[in-house]
Structures are given as structure tokens and as C-alpha cells.
Structure 1
Amino acid sequence: MSKALQQHLARRKQGVAAGIYSVCSAHPWVIRAAAEQAVEDGSLLLVEATSNQVNQFGGYTGMRPAAFRDFVLEIVKTAGLEPAKLVLGGDHLGPNPWRKQPAVEAMALAETMVAEYVAAGFTKIHLDASMACGDDATHPSDEVVAQRAARLCVAAEAARGAGDAPVYVIGTEVPVPGGATHAVHELPATSTAAAEHTLAVHKWVFEEQLSGVWERVIALVVQPGVEFDHDAVVDYDAAKASELVGWLQALPEAIVFEAHSTDYQRPQAYVELVRDGFAILKVGPALTFAMREALEALEDIESQLAGDSRSGLSAAIEETMLREPAEWLPYYASPAAEQKLLRRYSYSDRVRYYWGRPEIAAAVERLVANLAEVNIRESMLSRYLPLQYVRLRAGRISGDSVSLIVDHVRDVLREYAAACRA
């Protein structure tokens, strides 16, 4: 489906404000929500796995690329989405999972990973060699990043099958996955000079080393001036990006900008971002954040309806995260009382790494089972999940707990979808 994606974005050269959002999550309810949204819109669905989530060693999901492909395909088929509408992408594919190792070793592992993604049918590949490796004395220059990206691309091209040729995303100014780890109040957009140099260097290296591939480079990752930290969001300011946007519009190539960390923006910001050429919008933590909101709302309902047979979901989450702090402690450098709030409410939503833990998964299953045995009053739903209450009353969604959760996740996706319709 890379050809369909490339054609969709190429419409921008004809003055059509085409865009697409990229769902960066491995949770089945999030993927179900995205598939249902795509069915309703009749749109392509772009789902991406990151190098930390899914790689040749399983990543933190325990899935290699082929297993993730099959996992997503099963969910989207059940949701009624044609597999031909699904585009699978690999996000931050490069040495990041092994960046503490020397560059030679980290890059060798990254090449194996990229090849495995492409061989499994992933056709939208973000080549991310922007980070320093263990023996890099300084942050790598654009020239070094471009050379490393080309090496990754060579591995990807060698792994191609008979289907669509992969399309590529490049860039050097790539935000940290998952949101900022420190307070961010203002953020400049990438300078035009930096974007121009990055694109020129990559084009020169790719055309020298990879015949015919440059025409399949569809996007450049830049910073539009958006970000989120634990409890604040830097909103898009079109004026700050105006020079960069003008430069993009003057390019002869049908290249768009890819914007990372777009979670939690106001709805109008997504419209403006797509209009201005930030046509691939990454979203991840905001989706699992919404899922957690719905689960906690349903747990409150459970506490009033289920008697003594309660799931204990919040307690299971807290106990598991305290017992296994590796996925959140490096990011929440705060006093203990503040850490407790961040574990539950941080925009970076580090709890998303824990939903597959046995104790938490069992608690979620108990919550769903308990709520299936009781009658959730409409008046209670109005208090806890008011938008889902409205849709339930209108007969647009079912009243089972999973459908309520999925629809609450779709509240986030609806904002992206509205901005990307063209």
C-alpha cells in the first residue's frame, strides 16, 4: 500500500490538503479504534511500530515484525477494514535500541531490523540514524546521519519482496519518542536552512548509493514547534513555521513534512498543520492516555455497582509500576509524591508499557467481566463518559465496556481524521 500512500500525499501538488495520521501503538483496543475510524471514513489506515516495540529480538511487545503484522491484520479484518487499506510502517528504525553500543555494532543490528521489517511487508519506513551511538564523540552531523540512513536503506531494498516498493522518511531533527522528559514552554520550528541542508545531503548520498530510490522518499521529519511534557503542551503556532512552510511549497519534489509528538494539540492545530504541509501526523501516547481515562472511569462505575468483587485495576497498576520501575523511573525525576501523580497522569503516559503485564491484564479482564454482569445506568455513563453517553443514546455505539473504551479512544482519532480529510 505504499503506492497508495504516496499517491494520496502527492495530491498536495495539485492543491489538495491531503494528510494522514500515523497510529503508533501496539494495544489491540487502540488499533481496533483506528480501524473502525478508517472504516467510517473510507480512508487508508497507517499503523506504525517503533524500533523499541518491535524488532528482531521482540522489543518490549515480544513481537518481531511478521508477528506484529499478523496481529494488526487480524484486528483490522475483525473491524471490517479491507487489508488493502492498511499501511504498515516502521518508526525510528535505526540504531536507537542499541545506541549505547559502538556505531559499527549498533548499525549492524539496525540493518538486520530494517530488513526484517521490509521482508514482513512494512512499506512506510522511517530511517532514523539521528542519535549518537556509544563511540560517537559528538552528535552525528547531517552527513554522518545521511550515510547511516543510506546504509539502512540499502538493507531495506535488499529485503524487498514482489509487492509495493517501500517509501521512506528521513530527517535529522527527530524528537525523542514519547514526549519531552523536562518542562517545555516554547519550542522553535526547524530552521529553513537546517531543513534545506538535511534534504540536500540525503539526496546527494541516496542518489550516489541507491539508484532510483530517491523518488520514493516521501517525507522529511522536522520540528513544527509542537511538543508535550508531563503536564503541558506546546501548541502549534503557524507564524513560527511560515518560512519553513514556504520553502516546502517551493520544492519541486512531492515531499511532505512528518510531524512527531503531535499528541494533545487542539483540533484546529491539526487542520493548520496539514494545511501547512505537516501531512503525516504521528500520534501515540494520547491514544493510550484516552484508553486509561476510560478504564479508570469504568473502574469508578465498577466500585459502585460490583459489590466486593472488584478488579483492583488502579492498585494493580501502581503495584506493578513500583515493582518494575525501569519503564518510567528514568523519565519521572521528581519527588515521590510527584512521581505518583506522573505515573497516573503524565502526558507521556509511561503506563502504556505495562498493559501487557500479567497482573494488570488480569485486572482489566476482571473489570470487563464485572461490568458485563451489571447494568451501567445511562445516568452514570453521562457523568463518567459523557460523549459515549450521547452516542449510546443515539444508537451509534454498543454499551459494553470495551466498545465504550474504544469509542473514547476514537475521540482522539476523530480530531486527526477531521484534519486529514481531503
Structure 2
Amino acid sequence: MQPILDMVMRHKAGEPIGLTSVCSAHPLVIEATLRHALATGQSITLVEATSNQVNQDGGYTGMVPADFRDFVRAIADRVGFPLDRLVLGGDHLGPNAWTALPAAEAMAKAEVLVADYVRAGFRKIHLDCSMSCADDPVPLPETTIADRAARLARACEDAFTGDADDAPVYVIGTEVPVPGGAAEDLEELAVTTPEAAIATVDMHRDLFRDRGLSAAWDRVIATVVQPGVEFDHDKVVEYRPDRATALSRAIEPVDHLVFEAHSTDYQTAAGLAALVRDHFAILKVGPGVTFALREALWALDAIEAELVAPERRAGLRRVTLERMHAEPKNWRKYYHESGDALDLQLQYSLSDRIRYYWPDPAIANAQETLFANLREVKLPLALVSQYLPLAYLAARDGRASFDPAELVMAHVGATLDAYHGACHPNV
């Protein structure tokens, strides 16, 4: 996967460049990502799926890896995005979806998972075996985590049959708290110590080599650490460069590795730029873009209420809340309020558990009806400016139309602007 390796080498040589990883399975978010990349001329666009979203059992999207590949490529084909500029990645690939099973069974399923991802054409693979399975100690020893990651790397290498230049690249390590945002209130996070970060790298390197994976180790591009950024339901822990100075410097002498920063959602543009400058050169964003999606859809729901007769309204916001109350499994362990306070969390929590519900047939139908209703009326400029000011500006500048789907994508694109600026500061 030469384009990503080249980016890492350029960063290691002193260029303050980086790579944004968009982790989402929503078609409008993916289309917005590809359209944004076309408009900005990005040479690499990275779209990732998580092991919970997409796996051999279907994940919560119902897609196996080959399905997700075809899904993204179909969107790319529709918008005219060159496939040679598109990279698919797998995030937190390991036993995460099967931790209720004994470790032997969960790891066997994880081996199938990573092999399926590689065979389907995913070329950036995050090996994450940090979670304890049913018969594991808590927390899992570092040596066990690294040994299992090496085992999955072997499964990836055995599954790959293409040209050497297209061989998968790997990311090791994990962040705390769990993927997708903290479940509890946060005040301040402990930054990974330089000693811990380097120990993780050294342990993985040794175990890769012990398993005959030296060639794969040369394609390990990053390790995931905690630079002190996170978000919970209603707060964001901002990046403070002074707290991560020692960690940032620790990676400089390590050949062909940078840091990958997870949970960068909701950081400021300046914070994102500082992260890339400080060698957190791969920036993951997931809930941040689906939160923007929800903002735009709620804005369109409000516009519909101004323009469409009550009996014809889609009522997307109402339908979504009804379905979330009817099917609470995806938010129950995260949200603990009741009544109106719960409805606020369901809609506006920064952890954005609403993202699991967009494929629900009733919600998807309501979204389609909303778009159809708004396409039948001429959207007043003043209403678009009132409810979607960023998309309004994009439409007035000719970067989008006033079609409801394009307004949503323009609003998501405004979030991506900050990531592009951080990763391409001299463009």
C-alpha cells in the first residue's frame, strides 16, 4: 500500500502532513467524504469499517467485508471517484465482537475476520486484541495482546495474494476508553507515557519477528496511543500539546512509525493541526461526522415543518426517537437519564449512539420521504441560511446545490474541512 507508506515516510522526513481516516458506514457520510476529497484534490482517501460494523456475521450494518467494499465502490463509481485514490481500512480488528466467547473461540473468529477483510481488498488493518474474552483476566496482559496481534497479522499475510506493492499496512495498539467515545463522564485523561508507547512497539516487533513476520513488520505504519483527547456525552477533552511533548518526541527515532490518534472527533481545527504536527499523523473520525449528519437531518426536519402540511410531513426526528425507544439495545448501557433528559441524550450526545439506527427501515423511509417532500418545494434561501448556514454558504458558492441530500453532505463536509486543513497545512 505504497501511497500510505509514502505519506508516513514524508512525515518522518519532516513534512507536517497527515491522513484522515473516516470511519462510517452511512452512505451520505461516505459520499460526502469522497466528494470532499475530489474537491480538495486529496491523493489518498481512507474509509474504514469497524469490526462491530462489518464482520463475517454481518455486524450491525448487516454487511460482510466484501459487501462493504462493494458498497463504498458503488458510491465512488456514482460520484466519479478514482478507485486508485481510495483505500479501505479495518478498525479495531480482533475479537471485539465476540468477547462473550472463550478466547480460543473468539480468536478463531478474529482470524477469519481479518482474512476476510484482506481478501476483500482492505489494505489498512488495525490489529486490536486489547479486549478480554470470557475466560481472560481483566485487564489483559500486554504480552497476550501483542501475541494475539501477531497471530492476526499472520492470518492477514496468509490471506493476501496480490502484488507486493499492494500488501496491507498495519496499525498496532489501542486507546482507552473504548472505541466510539467514553461511556462515563470525563474530566482529564492520562496521556500515554513515552515508555509505555515504546514498550508496545518493541514487544510487537519482537513477536512479529518470532512468528516470521519481519516483512509485515516493515509495513507497520503506526501505533495507537492516548494523546489526551476524548469526548463523552457532552464534553470534549481538548488536545494540549504541552502534555504530550515527551510522547510526541518518543516516536521520532522509531523507523517507519507514526502515531494514530483515535477519538479526535470534535477537536478544534487548531487542535487537529497540532496533533498532526506532533506526529499523531493519522486522525480517526467517526461520531464527529455522523453527529454532523444528524445535525443536518434535524435541520431539514425543521425546514419541513415550516413548508409542508402536517399530514404530509415525514417526521424524521419523531420517527427516529420512537424507534430508539422501541429498540434500546444500542444505547441502554450508555444513557441513564429518563423522560425529556433521556430524549436529549438520545439526540444530542456527542457519543452519537443514534448512528446505529439510521439503517432502521422506518427511519430510512422517513428520511426518503423528507428528501422527497423538500424536493417538491423551492427551499427559501432564508430558511436554509437559518437552519444550515454552513451548507447555505457552500450552495451560494457553487460547491453544492440546494438539493436536501447535497445540503446534508455540504454540512458534513464542513467537519471534514478541519481535518483536511490539519493533514495538508501547506495546500
Q: TM-score range by the shorter chain?
A: over 0.9
Give SS of 1:264's match: coil
Give SS of 2:91's match: strand
Give the alignment partner of residue 243 of structure 1, picking from 213, 232, 246: 246
State the distance in 2 between where 1:68 and 1:173 align.
Answer: 25
Aligned to 1:354: 357
Aligned to 1:182: 184
In the TM superposition, residue 185 of structure 1 has moved relative to its aligned partner by: 1.2
Give SS of 2:252's match: helix
In the TM superposition, residue 314 of structure 1 has moved relative to its aligned partner by: 1.1
Aligned to 1:32: 31
Give SS of 1:68's match: helix
Aligned-partner residue type, residue 87 of structure 2: V
Give SS of 1:360's match: helix
Aligned to 1:203: 205
Sort the Cα spacing of 1:10 and 1:175 in 2 relative to 1 into closer, same or farther, 3 A: farther
State the distance in 2 between where 1:290 and 1:301 align.
Answer: 17
State the distance in 1 between where 2:231 and 2:363 align.
Answer: 26
Aligned to 1:319: 322
Aligned to 1:108: 108
If the length of structure 1 is used for normalisation, what is the TM-score? 0.98
State the distance in 2 between where 1:46 and 1:286 align.
Answer: 16
Give the alignment partner of residue 168 of structure 2, picking from 154, 163, 166: 166
Aligned to 1:13: 12
Offset from partner CA, 1:18-42 (integer Å, 9 cap, x none): 2011000000000011101111222
Aligned to 2:412: 409
5 Å-filtered alignment, 1:137-156, equals 137-156=137-156
How many percent of aligned residue pairs carry the same amino acid? 52
Offset from partner CA, 1:218-239 (integer Å, 9 cap, x none): 0000001000000000000001
77-86 or 63-72, larger mean C-alpha shift: 77-86
State the distance in 1 between where 2:175 and 2:348 align.
Answer: 28
Question: Does residue 92 of structure 1 match 2:92?
Answer: yes
State the distance in 1 between where 2:144 and 2:50 align.
Answer: 22
Aligned to 1:285: 287
In the TM superposition, residue 211 of structure 1 has moved relative to its aligned partner by: 3.4
Offset from partner CA, 1:56-111 (integer Å, 9 cap, x none): 01111111001100100111222222100001000000000001211101100000
State the distance in 1 between where 2:174 and 2:201 align.
Answer: 9
Aligned-partner residue type, residue 133 of structure 1: C
Count of aligned pairs between the two proteins: 420
Q: Is the Cα–Cα contact under 8 Å of residues 50 and 93 in structure 2 kept in the other structure? A: yes
Give SS of 1:60's match: coil
208-217 or 19-28, larger mean C-alpha shift: 208-217
43-52 or 173-182, larger mean C-alpha shift: 173-182
Sort the Cα spacing of 1:230 and 1:277 in 2 relative to 1 into closer, same or farther, 3 A: same
Give the alignment partner of residue 256 of structure 1, picking from 242, 253, 258: 258
Aligned-partner residue type, residue 315 of structure 2: G
State the distance in 2 between where 1:193 and 1:173 align.
Answer: 15
State the distance in 2 between where 1:172 and 1:60 align.
Answer: 22
State the distance in 1 between where 2:71 and 2:175 align.
Answer: 31
Moved over 6 A (4+): none
Aligned-partner residue type, residue 28 of structure 1: P
Offset from partner CA, 1:141-198 (integer Å, 9 cap, x none): 1111110001111111110021411000001445411100111011121011111111
Aligned to 2:76: 76
State the distance in 1 between where 2:91 and 2:352 align.
Answer: 18
Question: Does residue 393 of structure 1 match 2:392?
Answer: no
Give SS of 1:53's match: coil
If the length of structure 2 is used for normalisation, what is the TM-score? 0.97
The gaps in structure 1 that reach 5 residues or longer are none
5 Å-filtered alignment, 1:306-385, equals 306-308=308-310, 309-385=312-388
In the TM superposition, residue 334 of structure 1 has moved relative to its aligned partner by: 2.6
Q: Is the Cα–Cα contact under 8 Å of residues 175 and 260 in structure 1 kept in the other structure? A: no
State the distance in 2 between where 1:81 and 1:24 align.
Answer: 18
Q: Is the Cα–Cα contact under 8 Å of residues 327 and 353 in structure 1 kept in the other structure? A: yes
In the TM superposition, residue 391 of structure 1 has moved relative to its aligned partner by: 2.3
